[in-house]
Chains A and B, each alone.
Chain A
Amino acid sequence: MRIPCPYCGERDAQEFVYRGDAAPVRPAGDDGFEDYVYLRDNIAGPMREHWYHAQGCRNWLTVDRDSCSHAISGARLARGGTA
């Protein structure tokens, strides 16, 4: 599987660290913080997820990927805050 890094270009998934579902939002207080850190849905089908380009530009990416077909429809830097 190759991930289209917006800075580096298309790269092998080996260069990345997988984080999982990008949907959870950091809670303001302690309530729900454990769930935010540890609980991730395991979605079958199209999902939005986080990948860290550890062996490249060292940035977090938000990637739209279908977890059944591995088809990737988009990737952007997560730092923009656009989820």
Chain B
Amino acid sequence: MADDFALVERSSLGLATVMARKDISAADIGRALGMPMPDGPFESTGVDMSLLGTGPGSWLALCEKPGEDWADGLAAKLDGLASLSDQSGAYVVFRLGGARARRLLQQGVALDLDPEVFPPHRVAVTMIAHIGVILWRCAARDAFDVAIFRSFATSFRQWATATAAHLIEA
């Protein structure tokens, strides 16, 4: 069972939403941050941060090991270009891995997650069991990350556990 599904919380992440000001392009923001910017529903990775495209002119910034002033530093770099809002406490990010991770997700996601259509670094803002999620495929093709508003995290975990149990029985 452990080989089939593994659901782990990625803790202590730095998270922030970035919303471009009027007439500011993804490339403008990329220049200010010194990293490639996704201009669509994709993830791009910089030195210590990755950015997920969540909508036109909006992104979720994710930092693995944020310092205390990470969000403030980011806001300063983007001054005049984009609004930044620290969301580190707002989302729980789960990593779903294992041989049958995709099979599990397909029970709840109304999107084709075949790697041909949904390759690594592809992002989707959608819902699972009526819970809003930001979903992306990790560089390792068999794993997915799912960001969920913190107050829904328990419900999501229950859905995942119940669905996995159902798949194992089937």
Q: State the CA gap A9–B113 with chains docked (Å).
A: 13
Q: Are B126 and A57 in contact (CB under 8 A)?
A: no
- A7-B40, A7-B41, A55-B132 given; A15·B127 CB < 8 A: yes
Q: Which residue of A lies closest to B127 (CB)?
A: A55
Which A residues are in CB contact (< 8 Å) with B125?
Answer: 8, 55-58
Q: State the CA gap A40–B111 with chains docked (Å).
A: 32
Q: Are B56 and A59 in contact (CB under 8 A)?
A: yes
In chain B, residues 104-129, which have Cβ atoms closer than 8 Å to a Cβ of chain A? 110-111, 124-127
Choose among B40, B54, B126 the residue that contacts A15 (Cβ–Cβ < 8 A): B126
Which B residues are in CB contact (< 8 Å) with A55?
Answer: 125-127, 132
Does residue B55 face the partner (Cβ distance < 8 Å to A)?
A: yes
Q: State the CA gap A11–B126 with chains docked (Å).
A: 9
Which A residues are in CB contact (< 8 Å) with B55?
Answer: 7, 56-59
In chain A, residues 46-72, which have Cβ atoms closer than 8 Å to a Cβ of chain B? 55-59
Q: State the CA gap A56–B125 with chains docked (Å).
A: 5
Which A residues are in CB contact (< 8 Å) with B124?
Answer: 8
Interface size class of A (residues with CB under 8 A): 10 to 19
Which A residues are in CB contact (< 8 Å) with B41?
Answer: 7-9, 57
Q: State the CA gap A15–B130 with chains docked (Å).
A: 9
Q: State the CA gap A9–B112 with chains docked (Å).
A: 11
Q: State the CA gap A15–B54 with chains docked (Å).
A: 15
Which B residues are in CB contact (< 8 Å) with A14?
Answer: 110, 127
Q: Give B41-73 as 1s and 0s: 1 = Cβ < 8 Å from A's Cβ atoms.
A: 100000000000011101000000000000000
Does residue A77 face the partner (Cβ distance < 8 Å to B)?
A: yes
Which B residues are in CB contact (< 8 Å) with A11?
Answer: 110-111, 126
Residues of A within 8 A of B (CB): 7-9, 11-12, 14-15, 55-59, 77, 79
Across the A-B interface, give the 9 residue pairs with the lowest CB-CB distance, nearest first.
A57-B55, A12-B110, A55-B127, A56-B125, A7-B56, A58-B55, A55-B132, A59-B55, A8-B41
Q: What are 16 of the A-B contact pairs (CB < 8 Å)?
A: A7-B41, A7-B55, A8-B125, A9-B111, A11-B110, A14-B110, A55-B125, A55-B126, A56-B55, A56-B126, A57-B56, A57-B58, A57-B125, A58-B125, A59-B55, A79-B56
